[in-house]
Amino acid sequence: MSEPGTQMAAAAAGRGRLRTSRADREQAIEVLKAAFVQGRLTKDEFEARIDRTLTSRTYAELAAVTADIPAGLTDTQRVRESQPPRRPARTRARVSMNTAVTAGAFVAIATNIAVVGALAAGNGVAVIAVVAFFAVAAVVAIGAMLVAR
């Protein structure tokens, strides 16, 4: 494996005057962090190189910042790959607003049909029973949606 400085120098030779991207600067910062943790850079030198990295605009400027750091000890990609992958946080299924409105409309329409039917039969007790049944059904439906949420 070649050194970061060698890689950057090769890149700088072909595209030294080309502008770097944010990702290029972040990769150089990762190399500097690893070198600092390993004791290859003092705190002052690390901070100065970070400043130079953040202000570098071309590949040539960026290559100069990491030119003297060996690659084998700063392979951050290999370190990331050796860590076990994180499991995504478990998410709950949510009831959409459309489903909630549809369920509410269904309960309201069913209640109205039942009340009209009971009134047409002329039985007052049936009206009270139908209204009570659908009121309880509505509360259960709303409770189920809240629990599912």
> What is the model's pLDDT at position 2?
47
Q: What is the mean pLDDT of each run of 10 residues along the chain (149 residues)?
A: 50 68 90 90 93 91 88 54 62 70 76 73 72 76 71
Structure-token pair, residue 105? 């409309």
Q: Maximum distance among all alpha carbons in the chain?
A: 96
Burial group, residue 49, by CB count within 10 angstroms (0-12, 13-18, 19+) = buried
pLDDT of residue 111: 73
Cβ-proximal residues to 27 (8 Å cutoff; 6+ apart), any chain: none
Domain boundaries, the chain: 4-82, 97-148
Among the listed residues 92, 132, 93, 91, the one whose alpha carbon sits nearest the alpha carbon of residue 111: 132
